């Protein structure tokens, strides 16, 4: 930005604003072309790979947030200051079984938590509206009496719902809950297919 500042004789903050506006416009125009929404067939393929690699049935994506350290913008107060005691912006990533982004939400204030960013995301709004092409609930492997919805897996930051699975809390859990937490943890880490 310093080079552009001298080359075009424009203030650095103005260049920063221009870059942000251009990137946002490019993203809005090309989002669907670059990263189309998965079809039902694609969701089923992802689910099969999650089952194969993590032993977690009917899982379609893993979700997590990440703080990306930034220099605090002027006049921003505590908006970017997070609980880790540094300034950041949030990256909310929703990935398939092979670490490929299905959806990202970038740029929220560091003070916000993963759950609130997810709740306000377009992905969640589409999920709630039923417009993500997610397949109908399917039978669990080896069980013809139990249908389960396709789900996202996340950590304790996210609220449990019909669409979101998270680990059981606490210590000294019974074996079935410990096994569930282990499988969910493996699914959250996603396994790269070689």
pLDDT average per 10 residues of sequence, the chain (194 residues): 83 88 85 73 90 87 89 84 88 85 85 88 88 88 82 88 87 89 81 40
Q: Are residues 101 and 15 in the same domain?
A: no
Residue-range definition of the domain harbouring residue 26: 1-34
Residue 194 lies in a domain: no
**Distance (Å, rounded) from C-alpha 105 to C-alpha 88?**
14
Query: What local confidence, expressed as pLDDT, does residue 174 receive?
Result: 92
The domain total for the chain is: 2
Q: Is the pTM of this model over 0.75?
A: no
Residue 150 lies in a domain: yes
Query: What local confidence, expressed as pLDDT, does residue 193 receive?
Result: 40
Q: Are residues 108 and 140 in the same domain?
A: yes
Q: Are residues 28 and 90 in the same domain?
A: no
Residue 171 lies in a domain: yes
Instruction: Answer for the pair 92, 186: CB distance below 8 angstroms, yes or no.
Output: no
Q: Are residues 11 and 103 in the same domain?
A: no
Q: Are residues 148 and 63 in the same domain?
A: yes
Q: Are residues 39 and 1 in the same domain?
A: no
Q: Are residues 87 and 19 in the same domain?
A: no
Q: Are residues 39 and 29 in the same domain?
A: no
Instruction: Enumerate the H helices of 11-107 as residue ranges.
Output: 12-34, 40-54
């Amino acid at each position: 930005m310093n080079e552009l500042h001298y080359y075009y004789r424009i203030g650095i903050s103005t260049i920063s604003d221009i870059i942000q506006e251009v990137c946002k416009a490019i993203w809005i125009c090309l989002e669907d072309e670059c990263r189309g929404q998965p079809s039902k067939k694609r969701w089923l393929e992802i689910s099969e790979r999650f089952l194969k690699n993590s032993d977690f049935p009917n899982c379609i994506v893993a979700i997590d947030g990440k703080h990306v350290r930034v220099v605090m913008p002027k006049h921003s107060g505590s908006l970017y200051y997070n609980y880790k005691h540094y300034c950041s912006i949030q990256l909310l990533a929703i990935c398939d079984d092979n670490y490929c982004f299905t959806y990202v939400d970038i740029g929220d204030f560091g003070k916000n938590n993963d759950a609130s960013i997810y709740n306000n995301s377009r992905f969640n709004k589409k999920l709630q509206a039923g417009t993500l092409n997610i397949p109908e609930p399917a039978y669990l492997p080896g069980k013809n009496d139990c249908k389960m919805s396709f789900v996202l897996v996340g950590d304790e930051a996210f609220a449990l719902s019909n669409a979101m699975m998270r680990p059981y809390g606490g210590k000294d859990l019974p074996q079935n809950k410990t096994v569930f937490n282990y499988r969910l943890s493996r699914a959250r880490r996603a396994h790269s297919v070689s």
